[in-house]
Amino acid sequence: MNGVISAGNKKDPRNGNASVSGSQKDLRTMSGSQKDVRNGNLSASSSQRDLQNGSGSVNGSQRDLRINSGDGDDEKYRGKFTGKSTLKNPFGSSTTLSSTAPTENSGDDLDDHINVVLRVRPANGQERDRKDQLVTKFHGEGRVEVDHVSVNRSFVYNVVFEPEALQEDVFDHSGVKKLIDMSINGYACTAFAFGQTGSGKTHTMTGPPQQFEGGNHPESDMQGVIQRSFRYLVQQLGQVTGNKTIKASYLEIYNEQVIDLLNTNHRRYLNVRWSKNKGFYVENLFIVECETVDDLMAVLEEGMRNRQTGSHGLNEFSSRSHSMLTLTVDTEQVDPDDENLYLTKRGKLTFVDLAGSEKVKDSGSSAEMLIESNNINRSLLVLGNCISSLGDPKKRQGHIPYRDSKLTKLLADSLGGNGVTLMIACVTPSAYHVHETTNTLRYASRAKRIKSKPVIKMDPREKLILSLKREIKILRNENHYLREQLEFPAKPKGDLQKNNDEKFMKMVKDMQSKASPGDKDLYAMLQEYMIENEALRNENSELHRNKDQLHRDHQSLSKHNERLQVDIEKLQRMDKVRHNNGESYRSPQNSSKPPYNPPPQRLPPNNQNQGYVSPTAGRGKPPPSHGQPKRPPHRLSEPLMRPAQLPPEHLQNGYVEEGYMSPRGRPPIQNGGMRQESPMRLTDSRRSSQSSTADTIKSINEKLKQELYDIEGQINHHHLVNTRTRSIYGSQTSMRSVHR
Ligand SMILES: Nc1ncnc2c1ncn2[C@@H]1O[C@H](COP(=O)(O)OP(=O)(O)OP(=O)(O)O)[C@@H](O)[C@H]1O
């Protein structure tokens, strides 16, 4: 453990304060020679490298100091970072879904405050050149002081990362790991970085921003919270035995418009909608299914490349938008209470890199940037208002202005609702920015007051089953206890249980008749309990039967759906073949009839409106890049394209097979750009004039068209039935019951 995280022991003279100010001093004295090497250019990676190399001995000696201290303080210090942040567990006491884990309606108390950590970046070249005073002082225990002639204030956060903190330290000690664990357990978790422009938000979340330019990757020790989270998530999911999937989406909010960062082929503004079940969500957002860390990295790189960045006086690679990378983590885990039941948990992990607030005067923004800055500052103001209201116990129950910006709409769940949130406030140590720094610190302190009550969102049916099961479990325990009291044998299974229950009821009746009036009440109560128990048992097996039936129905619907899909694809292929032959499908009798529109692509039930990529789509290896920047996952290259369509079987391998007759006894239209005549047509053409051939083709076309419409009608009908049925059984798909 190094000495760069100022949550250390305040009493220890070697803690954050002493050593950090020492290193800062070193930094300042170093700056002269470093300036020469860098020729006055600020390079983020170099500044960090400088820190690591240049002041390496300082860090090293700090580490040694701490580690070699050999007294209890060191132990105390280390103990504070064993997977938790410095203060009490910021996310409540329970992180696993056991039978006692809270669900939406449970009264279990997971109330806690939002976890806020602070990162103070090292002074950059510009600040060092100006010989800016360093105004942040670190007192350990998560306390930071801003010490300047114009302001002197102290703030306390869950953890404070001092300028020398490494990317690794931030990942290990900010509480992100806990967030990831919770997302695997079904919670919606958000980590977001905020602060003034150039304060290190992007650096913290993804590593130095410029390293993504031109397809480069941040060196592994420079990788930010996001890349490290990918690795940790995949590693943790490896321990889940049931099915698990990760789906990723990546968007930015630029000038108050939502843009998909993964689907730039169809670049357009997306709508933010609201639904009762989902809350605020982005419509038609592209979703990529990821299996490996590489898949996730490719998503990040693609998004980073597409993000709006610009250069201004305070940051050469400034993010001009708020970005949100969301991973939906589905896991199927055996219910600890019933090995036949799988519970599907759908957790969410969102990483938000906010655009930085900026003083236009300082950033020297151009006209276009001015509009961006205004939008950025406005949405951050709305965020600030929401945070203030949520942090104020009196206002918390009232109106929270989430709807005032797209950013707050999309963060509504994380901030005010049932999610788990980690905020990483980023500031600079320089006196030049002391007012922005104090603003950020105030903002962060307000955020710390926000209380959240994380809950696991569950499918309503699963929730019902779970609560019934809990009830049954309690009743079973009660039953067992009462039987023990009556010295009646423990409850066996099946017929034996029924016989036993009958015997038990008889015994209760016998005893009731013999019992004293006081005891009679007890026996009556027992009898009632037995009846209730029996009813519950019936209800339970009824539920199991229903579940089985629903499962079977769903399977048969899926099969049906697949058959329909095959039909549709056949139709599409025929459509293509005819188009290739320059034929029109518009009926001469009814030219107003619309041409055949293929039904929407098959989507999984919960993603009906979203750009879903099938789990199997493009699973193959991507083509070699030949020195090009590494592409995102194969699936991203042509996100919404369907695989190349083959002609129908009878048209494969070139053109019409000899002797093939269409269902109507006519030769089919051939595939391919060039029109080739079948042997039969050749005979016809010899006999007929050019115009009669055209008539023949027209009449064939019309018949085929009619056929097409008939089939289309049938398919539409099936689709309607299917959609309706799916909406009824839709929610059932998230639950898998396995009866052995
Ligand atoms: N902890 C750090 N160590 C070394 N360099 C850092 C650190 N934090 C930030 N930097 C560097 O400072 C520069 C500005 O950081 P970054 O772009 O992450 O700021 P930002 O807050 O995201 O700014 P904006 O809001 O304008 O996008 C970058 O070159 C970055 O690499």
pLDDT at 627: 36
Residue 705 confidence (pLDDT) above 70: no
CB 97 within 8 A of CB 191: no
Q: Is 200 annotated as a binding residue?
A: yes
Give the phi and the psi of residue 384 in degrees, each rounded to 5.
Answer: -60, -40
pLDDT at 359: 61
Position with higher pLDDT, 342 vs 685: 342
CA nearest ligand 1 atom 9, residue? 200
Percent residues over pLDDT 90 in the chain: 22
Position with higher pLDDT, 623 vs 544: 544
Residue 596 confidence (pLDDT) above 60: no
Residue 145 confidence (pLDDT) above 90: yes
Whether 55 lines ligand 1, by a CB cut-off of 6 Å, is: no
Q: Is 201 annotated as a binding residue?
A: yes
Whether 356 lines ligand 1, by a CB cut-off of 6 Å, is: yes
Whether 209 lines ligand 1, by a CB cut-off of 6 Å, is: yes
State the closest ligand 1 atom to the C-alpha of 45, by its place in the atom list counted from 1.
31
CA nearest ligand 1 atom 6, residue? 44
Residue 340 confidence (pLDDT) above 70: no
CA nearest ligand 1 atom 14, residue? 198
Summary mean pLDDT of the chain: 66
pLDDT at 485: 66
Question: CA dist 430 to 123, 130, 153, 474, 529, Å?
Answer: 6, 10, 15, 60, 71
Whether 136 lines ligand 1, by a CB cut-off of 6 Å, is: no
Beta-carbon contacts of 653 under 8 Å, excluding residues fewer than 6 positions away, are: none
Euclidean distance between the first and the last CA atom of the chain, given in angstroms as a whole number: 50
Q: Is 699 annotated as a binding residue?
A: no
pLDDT at 736: 36
Ranges of each domain in the chain: 115-213+220-457, 460-488, 501-552
Whether 465 lines ligand 1, by a CB cut-off of 6 Å, is: no
Q: Of 31, 47, 433, which is best to mutate to test ligand 1, by the most ligand atoms within 8 angstroms of its C-beta? A: 47
Q: Of 55, 121, 359, which is best to mutate to test ligand 1, by the most ligand atoms within 8 angstroms of its C-beta? A: 121
Give residue-wise pLDDT tens across range 97-119.
222 233 333 333 345 778 899 99
Give the phi and the psi of residue 715 in degrees, each rounded to 5.
Answer: -65, -45
| Mean of pLDDT values over 531-539 | 73
| Mean of pLDDT values over 513-538 | 71
Give residue-wise pLDDT tens across range 552-578.
777 778 778 778 888 888 888 887 877
Most confident among 131-145, 210-224, 667-681 (mean pLDDT): 131-145
Residue 714 confidence (pLDDT) above 50: yes
Residue 27 confidence (pLDDT) above 80: no
| Mean of pLDDT values over 439-453 | 85
Whether 92 lines ligand 1, by a CB cut-off of 6 Å, is: no
Buried b (16+ CB within 10 A) or exposed e, 387-400: bbbbbeeeeeeeeb
Residue 248 CB neighbour total at 10 angstroms = 24
CB 53 within 8 A of CB 145: no
The domain made up of 115-213+220-457 has a fold known as Kinesin (3.40.850)
Range of lowest pLDDT (301-305, 552-556, 566-570, 719-723): 719-723
Angle, alpha carbons 548-549-551 (nearest 5°)? 65
Q: Is 202 annotated as a binding residue?
A: yes
| Mean of pLDDT values over 492-502 | 61
Beta-carbon contacts of 583 under 8 Å, excluding residues fewer than 6 positions away, are: 669, 697, 701
Give residue-wise pLDDT tens across range 266-299.
778 899 999 887 789 999 899 999 999 999 999 9
pLDDT at 143: 92
Q: How far apart are CA 297 and CA 729, in angstroms?
A: 35
pLDDT band at 462 (very low <50, low <70, confident <90, very high): low
| Mean of pLDDT values over 447-452 | 80
Position with higher pLDDT, 365 vs 244: 244
pLDDT band at 234 (very low <50, low <70, confident <90, very high): very high
Q: Report pTM.
A: 0.56
Whether 323 lines ligand 1, by a CB cut-off of 6 Å, is: no
In order, the DSSP letters of 419-477 are -EEEEEEEE--BGGGHHHHHHHHHHHHHHHT-EE---B---HHHHHHHHHHHHHHHHHH
Whether 322 lines ligand 1, by a CB cut-off of 6 Å, is: no
Give residue-wise pLDDT tens across range 649-700.
333 333 333 333 333 333 333 333 333 333 333 334 434 444 454 565 566 5
pLDDT at 566: 82
| Mean of pLDDT values over 612-616 | 33
pLDDT at 383: 87
Helices (H), 166-278: 167-173, 176-184, 201-206, 225-237
Most confident among 60-74, 108-122, 191-205 (mean pLDDT): 191-205
How many Å lie between the centroid of ligand 1 and the Cα of residue 203?
5
Most confident among 102-106, 210-214, 291-295, 452-456 (mean pLDDT): 291-295
Range of lowest pLDDT (85-94, 198-207, 525-534, 729-738): 85-94
| Mean of pLDDT values over 730-739 | 37
How many Å lie between the centroid of ligand 1 and the Cα of residue 154?
24
pLDDT at 186: 87
Q: How far apart are CA 516 and CA 281, in angstroms?
A: 64
Q: Interface pTM (ipTM) of the complex?
A: 0.98
Q: Which residues pair with 608 in a beta bridge?
A: none
Whether 197 lines ligand 1, by a CB cut-off of 6 Å, is: yes
State the closest ligand 1 atom to the C-alpha of 205, by its place in the atom list counted from 1.
18
pLDDT at 693: 46
CB 420 within 8 A of CB 456: no
Give residue-wise pLDDT tens across range 353-410.
988 776 655 555 566 667 777 777 788 888 888 888 887 777 777 888 889 899 999 9
